[in-house]
Chain A
Amino acid sequence: MAERAIDVQGLVREYKKGPRAVDGVSLYVETGEIYGFLGPNGAGKSTMVKMLVTLLPPSGGRATVGGYDIASQGDEVRKVIGVALQEAALDPLLTGREHLFLQAGLNGFPKKRAKERGEELLERVGLSGAGDRKIGTYSGGMRRRLDLALALVHSPSIIFLDEPTTGLDPHSRSALWEEVRRLARDEGVTIFLTTQYLEEADVLARRVGIIDHGRIVAEGTPEELKAQVGGSTLEVVPAQESEKERLEATLARFGALAAGSGDSGVAVRLRDRGGAVAEIIRALDQAGVAVSDLALHSPTLDDVFLARTGRPLESGDGEPDGQPAAEAAAPESEPEIDLRMAAAGRSKIERLPTAMLKDWMAERHLQGARESARQLGTPTLTITKGPLAGKQVNVDGRLVIGREGDLVISDPEISRRHCAIRVVDGSLVIDDLQSLNGTWVNGKRIELPTLLAPGDAMSLGTSTIEVSAPQPPSLVSGPGA
């Protein structure tokens, strides 16, 4: 086994009359490492995997997998790899057990050993009880688990998993993560994992490569990448509005000040990621500043992607493989919709499995929103950056921030609908996001529900809009109260 299980140098894949789906990618994966290949839909992840597993000849560059050249030693490469492609390629008329037996047989296992291997793998992925059921009756999670088992049949030393958890429920997702971890930890298997989920790359991968429009835009350990975009942000809300100036002066000693989520809050981007919080608290105490709230936000991989590309990862603004770039390009006159939840730990658009669940979520959030609106009044949206900076958006009671921090339109005529906000020719436009659900707008795929937390900043083209969340009555002092 080579020390570098995967070594890629300037790999290119060009489609006729289309863009370069993969445009000069170079990377390496060490033996036994879990490498996360992160990018939005259509960024070139699957094309990259198909080239590395020998299903697609590269247009340029070179790569070795397990020490074998993918272009000239395909047979050797296939012997050392296991692959679970994006679509769980299973025959709906065969059973799980038959799939494993077929796969083992084609890989040269004698009949008896093929059956034994099938049983072992069914047991390992928890499908022993369902082994004799036809695939047509399997759930998505079961299919994915069987897909993984099939990739393991011939005990490969390198495994490629192309978006293995897309569409899975949280339980199935974490079960699959555990199996991936176990493979790397206990068996020393090298794993090349593509994903569009930040959390997945963050949790599983030792190193992450971020791809966008066919090019690597960042690479390193998740910690390194996050460190590149700056330290954590600490947000402090003084107990008394009058103490804000003293608070700012104190915080400025620890890093650059940034806008807080509310009128009274002050945020500081910390120079030192560790230990600073305790020092700040001591400093505030010494300065005599009473604090009503304090929150530490760590950078996420989404922040890394945003910093490198100017847009958030999970907006789905990938250029579809083989599709002309022009189709995905956003015109300047109509800035992109960008409802990113910047708050730490919630910086992703939820993808829920069923319309029913979405409705339930929408209903739940709407109830919270109505309650908040009744108790707290109308919040405001303040544009803090860009041509409209300094302006407040008059939402006239149509827009409220829910108890859970969800942005919903409370107008009864369009209730239960989330909305999108755009800046078009200097005007703010509120769209009914429900009607946009599943569509592509300015190169971004809109998916519901799109949730916003209090304090979220929304980047809309060159503008940044901050949501001023309703505050408890004792703390409210802004114009939205």
Chain B
Amino acid sequence: MNASFGTQLRLLARRSVVRTFRDPGSIIPAVAVPLILFVVVSAGLEKATHVKGFPTDVIWTFTLTIAFANGAMVTVANTGAAIATDIEHGFINRLALTPMKGFVLVAAQLAGALVLGLIQAVVFLGVGLAAGARFEAGALGALVLVLLFLTSVAAFGAFGIFVGLRTGSGQAVQAIAPLMTVFLFLSSVNFPRNLITADWFKWVATVNPLSYLVEGMRSVLITGWDKQALAYGFAFAGGLLILMIAAAAMSIQGRLVRT
């Protein structure tokens, strides 16, 4: 008798969620680091609201996306480290000896990331609103932001799983995290693209797809319902999700070598 795909997914997703909650090392950085960035950058950019053309008078409204974008990117390290640990400890061999389908493991790892993502979203929203951030698109806009954030969490989570599967090393996965932060700061996360004065930076921010994710998130806070910004944001997150799930699914077949 073999467990159905749904049963396998439920069992492994449960494991992933349980692991997430039992590992403070994955929860605290995922929540605390983005909030710290949010506060620090907000303090540093407070006077930027006086710049002519700055899209909002309330800096917290502008910078809340930093917490969400950074929070999504932290997922790379969490999911990647989790799968790399399974490889390093040989747990993946144990799973390989069961009738488990390889893709179930990828999907189940994402379940844990999404549960953590929900916690992050609630905390970020709560702190942001308490600090003074406002949603131009209203409560529905906040829900759309959370949806875009969770899509990003899944996309970056799948990327982390892909890296973890390819390298099989927790250290290699952790080394990716600083690079991700660099990419984030090379986007329009700290300043609107039209106000960036350095040509090279403006060009980098324009070609950096993370800018479109950030601008999609920011649109519901500042602009209201900007269909194009949201479309670009979801296109990036959704595209990355599909690409990375496909890559991770292929990689898991390589890791689950069984005849």
Contacts and interface: CB of A to CB of B under 8 A. Distances in A.
Contact of A53 (B2, B97, B100): B97
A54 B90 CA distance: 15
Contacts of A72: 259
A78 B3 CA distance: 14
A108 B100 CA distance: 10
Interface stretch (B14-22, B37-45, B73-81, B129-137): B14-22
Interface in B88-109: 89-100
B171 interface: no
Assign chain A's interface to a size class: 20 to 34
Given A56-B257, A70-B259, A108-B99, A102 B22 contact: no
Interface of B: 1-3, 7-8, 11-12, 15, 18-19, 22-23, 86, 89-100, 257-259
A85 B98 contact: no
Interface in A289-329: none
B259 A54 contact: yes
A91 B87 CA distance: 11
A274 to B, nearest CB: 45
Contact of A106 (B11, B19, B86, B258): B11
B97 A78 contact: yes
22 contacts: A54-B258, A55-B96, A55-B257, A57-B259, A74-B259, A78-B97, A78-B258, A89-B91, A89-B92, A90-B94, A91-B86, A94-B18, A98-B15, A102-B11, A105-B8, A106-B3, A106-B11, A106-B99, A106-B100, A107-B3, A107-B99, A109-B1
Contact of A90 (B22, B89, B97): B89
A58 B90 CA distance: 20
B4 to A, nearest CB: 9
Interface in A157-183: none
A83 B89 contact: no
How would you classify the secondary structure of chain A's contact residues: helix, strand, loop or mixed? loop
A98 B18 contact: yes
A107 B97 CA distance: 10
Contacts of B8: 105-106
Nearest to B19: A93
A91 B97 contact: no
Nearest to B4: A108
A75 B99 CA distance: 8
A342 to B, nearest CB: 37
A89 B89 contact: yes
Contact of A93 (B2, B11, B22, B90): B22
Nearest to B256: A55
Contacts of B257: 55-57
B98 A103 contact: yes
Given A89-B92, A106-B95, 15 more contacts: A53-B97, A54-B258, A78-B99, A83-B97, A87-B89, A89-B90, A91-B15, A91-B86, A94-B19, A102-B15, A103-B98, A105-B3, A105-B11, A106-B11, A106-B12
A71 interface: yes
Nearest to A103: B98
Contacts of A98: 15, 18
Nearest to A79: B99
Interface string A278-293: 0000000000000000
Contacts of A78: 97-99, 258
Contacts of B11: 102, 105-106
A134 B92 CA distance: 18
Contacts of B3: 105-108
A329 to B, nearest CB: 30
A382 B23 CA distance: 61
Interface in A328-349: none
A89 B94 contact: yes
A150 interface: yes
A6 to B, nearest CB: 15
Contacts of B99: 75, 78-79, 106-108
Nearest to A71: B259
A83 B194 CA distance: 61
B11 to A, nearest CB: 4
A45 B22 CA distance: 36
Contacts of B93: 55, 85, 89
A81 B94 CA distance: 12
Given A78-B99, A83-B97, A108-B1, A90 B91 contact: yes
A109 B15 CA distance: 17
Contacts of A90: 89, 91, 94
